[in-house]
Structure formats: structure tokens, C-alpha cells
Amino acid sequence: MFFRDQVIGKYRILSSLGSGGFGTVYLALDTWIDKKVALKVPHKQNLDFSELLKEPRLLASMSHPNIVTVLTAEKQQDMFFIVMEYVAGETLEQLILRDGALGLPRTLDFTCQICNAVDHAHRAGILHRDLRPGNMLLSETGLLKVTDFGTSRILEIAAQGTTVIGSPPYMAPEQFHGKAVFASDVYSIGVTMYQMLTGMLPYDTPAPADLERLMRGELVQPPRLK
């Protein structure tokens, strides 16, 4: 954990930007070049160094305006962290919570940007596996950037896995069984698009019977459409 005004290497911590299941992100100042950056500090610092490097290496293998850019990865004072571009703005989740349904023009605009980012990742053989509005940043100019590739994997590895990864409201049926394919990300985009159009999720929490049917891959009509 870092604290405000703490100096680690050439970075001075300015504030905390948020924390998720896999790490905490801080706003920091690169004092050498006087530029704001985002530092992501994984919670599990005791992992093998090669495991810690998976996310920054995946990000570094991609270059797309709709994917957050990784600048470097460092280890200072026995703390590993990823240095990324700082996107001033808010998450898509925050926008939906504030504005509700976004309307068709904005929904189509954001969906196209998400699809462009995911298409670029898929062409590189990379699955995100946790696409959701909270992992999508909106710049002050309206540019959307997909972030949080901490759960991402190469297709061959993800398709053979057994660990359940993702956020349940956005997870495709196969992800409940620990499997993931390209279509899993597309499913998550569909749920996100639904949420942008309506201001709410198809399911807040799926009923047990519906969840079992979803896990079997059966079609389940969202209760709000019945």
C-alpha cells in the first residue's frame, strides 16, 4: 500500500484511484519528466516474478488508442508495480450510475470503441475475460480505453483453464465452468451494451434457477424483458 506524498523511486504518490480484486491503482507523478501516470500495485506481491510480469507483457504486446498504454513495470522497495498512462476522466460505470440510460448515439459510439479494442486484443490472441463498465475509462474528450488486463490470458491457456474468472453479471455461461473463448468477451460486450441502453443490468443477481440454466448454456430471458 502506498500513501499520499510517498516517494517510490522517481514516482510521488498523489492519490488512490481505486482498488479491485487484483490490485490497487494510484495516481502518481513521474518527477523526472513531470508527468502524471497511473501505478497499479498487485495485491499478491508474493507471486513468481514471471507471473507478476504477465499483465504488463500482455499490455506491451498491444498498441491501440482504445487500450490503456503500459509504460513500464518496476520493482522498488520490494514492491512490484505497473506504470501506465493516466486517463483523466471517469469509468463507464460511473457515467451510467450518474446518467442512467445513455441513449442510442452514445451507446453505439462507446460500443464501437470497445469492439475496436477487443478486436485488436483478439487478433493478438488475447482474451480479456473481465470486460465490464468498471474496466472502461472515458477521457475528457470521449475516448474510451479498456483497462485491467490482469485477468487476461492467451486463448489456448484460457480455453483449457478451470479457474472461474470474471464478474458474474457479465460472464458468459462457459466462464462459470472456468473456460473462456473469444465469444466470452463478445457476450460481456453485449451485457455492457444492454446496460448502456437501459441504465441497468439484465440481471442484478440471477435467480438460482436462471443461473443454472445460464451455466448450461440455455437461453434465459432477462426478467425486465418478460
Among 130, 148, 185, 210, the active-site one is 130
Banded model confidence at residue 86, pLDDT cuts 50, 70, 90: very high
CB 66 within 8 A of CB 77: no
Q: Edge-to-edge strands of the sheet including 89-91?
A: 89-91, 136-139, 144-146
Report the largest interatomic distance among the alpha carbons of the chain, rounded to a whole angstrom: 58
pLDDT tens by residue, 168-185: 788 887 777 777 788 999
Residue 62, Cα to own-chain centre: how many angstroms? 15
Question: Looking at residue 157, what is its pLDDT?
Answer: 46
pLDDT tens by residue, 26-52: 999 999 999 999 999 988 898 888 888
119 is catalytic: no
- Domains in the chain: ranges and CATH: 7-85 (3.30.200.20), 89-225 (1.10.510.10)
pTM score, two decimals? 0.84
